[in-house]
A and B are shown apart, each in its own frame.
Chain A
């Protein structure tokens, strides 16, 4: 369990990145922080592994203040996936995946064996093991990034817009894989994105942040869609531009679900009686 206790981050120039956020990420759940740029979502994420120190407040992991942990050891105990993968360009795929276990002193042979297994887990062909990151596609690199984050079997996974730099088709594929992995592994996951659809797809709970690092609403995707807290949320989730305002329209082939601009978004499986 990760707990943010009224954390605040203010930079020397007076910019407030995070304003008094309190939040609990339950064990084995995925909490998605979603907001546009400047909403402090990445700053919050980086407080967990002490890449950013809060100006005030505290972050606790299973009740223990992260400030009491050695930052380097702490980071090795937490999986981290970055945008555009953040792989080490001078290290082969297999050793990129094995990075953290090797830092932890696991013998190289053993770490590589585990890395190969992880390649299977994330759906990477083992034939790619000896390539360098630049020789992989964006989607493959991202899978390596996920495998690397899982390599030391951490309880916590931090994902910072991990699928932001890949094309939409690959992104959908990676999102589905992540859902599958999450159902198998059940990591306590904090996921940062600016894409509300991604947030609703992946999050057990979604936290919507506004400029200056304020939480405007949090809840399950259902809760947010059914009862948006204010106009900002309504706008953000697509209830204002009509993207998520659905109505039913009978057609000769069944009942269509259409959004506010009249575009058919889908068909009802069983027509209403």
Chain B
């Protein structure tokens, strides 16, 4: 424990840096995945295309992506921007399917009811479809957050300092405890962000709290 205790300051700084690099990609990923996932949900014909392409993105090895992005986007290979960009791509790759599934999961009867009440398309999206897709999107977002926080450590390979520093430094200096401290720190950050997301979900979606099985399990009325 002595290395850890002696270096709490360093771990703290690296943790903050780590959050600065991994939280934006999660948010950017969400912002991009919502429209893409909605398109996949809404337009059956492009659904396969959208989901396949984003799925393939996820299979790109990060070690290849990090040197490639600067060539494509003309940014510095050794910058945090490069890392944020790569992490955003992975976040989108994971989230698009969740978002599409989330919109798919909205009960058609509820959607029809909203139309019948006189919701315009835009208002229906923001106040009915998006909130009701929320629980499924949140589930995807939690996976994305944990994965992004863990993946961000590769940044150290392009010289972007974050908790990944503890892995390379510990490896070079043969300090096993430093590596373990890094693993635990990453896990704690991931856990903390996950808890925050769950809490945010409970506040934003109060109807899901202790929800019973909705009575919509009843047979929905077919067109007569």
Contact = CB atoms under 8 A, between A and B. Distances in A.
Nearest to B216: A84
Nearest to A52: B223
B221 A83 contact: yes
Interface string B115-128: 11111100100001
A103 B119 CA distance: 7
B110 to A, nearest CB: 6
A84 B221 contact: yes
B221 A164 contact: yes
B133 to A, nearest CB: 10
B2 interface: no
A41 B224 CA distance: 6
Interface stretch (A60-68, A116-124, A133-141, A258-266): A133-141
A135 B218 contact: no
Interface of B: 107, 109-110, 112-120, 123, 128, 131-132, 205, 207, 211-216, 218-224
A80 interface: yes
A12 interface: no
Interface in A1-39: 17, 35-39
Q: Which of B128, B215, B218, B223 gathers most chain A CB within 10 Å?
A: B215
Given A82-B109, A88-B128, A164-B221, A132 B211 contact: yes
B117 A84 contact: no
Interface in A63-116: 72-77, 80, 82-84, 86-91, 99-100, 103
Contacts of A35: 224
Given A43-B224, A86-B110, 7 more contacts: A51-B112, A75-B118, A82-B116, A133-B215, A134-B211, A164-B221, A165-B221
A49 to B, nearest CB: 6
Contact of A86 (B113, B118, B132, B224): B113
A165 B224 contact: no
14 contacts: A35-B224, A37-B222, A37-B223, A37-B224, A41-B224, A75-B115, A75-B117, A84-B220, A90-B128, A91-B207, A103-B117, A132-B211, A134-B207, A138-B218
A194 B120 contact: no
A161 interface: yes
B214 A42 contact: no
Contacts of B207: 89-91, 132, 134
Interface residues of A, number: 46
Contacts of B205: 90
Contacts of B222: 37
Nearest to B111: A86
A79 to B, nearest CB: 9
A247 B133 CA distance: 58
B211 A86 contact: no
Contacts of B116: 49, 51, 75, 80, 82, 86, 158
Interface in A156-204: 158, 160-161, 164-165, 192, 194
Contacts of B113: 80, 82, 86-88
Contact of A165 (B213, B219, B223): B219
Contact of B224 (A42, A49, A73): A42
Given A35-B224, A134-B212, A86 B112 contact: yes
A99 B219 CA distance: 25
Contacts of A74: 118
Given A89-B132, A90-B205, A134-B211, A38 B114 contact: no
- 7 tightest A-B CB contacts, nearest first: A86-B113, A76-B118, A83-B221, A75-B118, A42-B224, A80-B116, A134-B214
A133 B212 CA distance: 10
A143 to B, nearest CB: 14
